[in-house]
Amino acid sequence: SLKKIDFPNTLQNISKSAFSCCRNLTSIMIPKSVHLILDSAFSGCSSLVKVDASNSKIETIANSLFSDCRCLENITIPNSVSTIGKSAFSNCKKLKTIIIPNSVKFINKSAFSDCSELKSVKFSENSQIENIGEFAFSNCVNLISIYFYDENEPTVSYDAFQ
């Protein structure tokens, strides 16, 4: 039963659903050599607590990448990311705070939906956010604060926070 993954520093891509439903996996560090992670690569990793992708060069957090990772408490989104895909973090029940780096332009449909313990979303200074999609933060019943440091006014779907 896989608990930890030590990716080689030469790894560039992680395939679709590669580690999906690895129920004993608790921690992942994605090396700087990684440029692409495909849809659902880590979805359903129900014991996953921490993901450090801060050094990676990924530009998109793929659709459903960490969906149903119910124990995920900490995610470091790299400054290279411009898009957070559909349902990327949906049903990550233990996430409490999300810091959106200034490189992110798009948060797609249901990206953080059903994150029931999410309390705070912080957009970094000089944010480039352009669009927050429908249901992006739906059913985040404990969400009490969203911080924008700039006067940038993104397009926010009318039901993004339903």
* Mean of pLDDT values over 103-115: 97
Rounded distance, CA 156 to CA 162, Å? 12
Residues 14-50 pLDDT 10s: 999 999 999 999 999 999 999 999 999 999 999 999 9
In the predicted model, is pLDDT for residue 151 greater than 90? no
Residues 94-108 pLDDT 10s: 999 999 999 999 999
* Mean of pLDDT values over 117-127: 93
Strands (E) in the chain, as ranges, are: 4-6, 13-14, 27-29, 36-37, 50-52, 60-61, 74-76, 83-84, 97-100, 106-107, 120-123, 131-132, 145-148, 155-156
Contact yes or no for 57/34 (Cβ under 8 A): yes
* Strand-pair category, 120-123 with 145-148: parallel
Higher pLDDT, 48 or 150: 48
Which CA distances in Å does 56 have to 52, 78, 81, 89, 92?
A: 9, 6, 9, 18, 21
Least-confidence region, from 97-101, 109-113, 150-154: 150-154
By residue count, the chain amounts to 162
* Mean of pLDDT values over 106-118: 97
Average pLDDT of the chain, as a whole number: 94
Using DSSP's 3-state secondary structure scheme, residue 55 falls into coil
In the predicted model, is pLDDT for residue 153 greater than 90? no
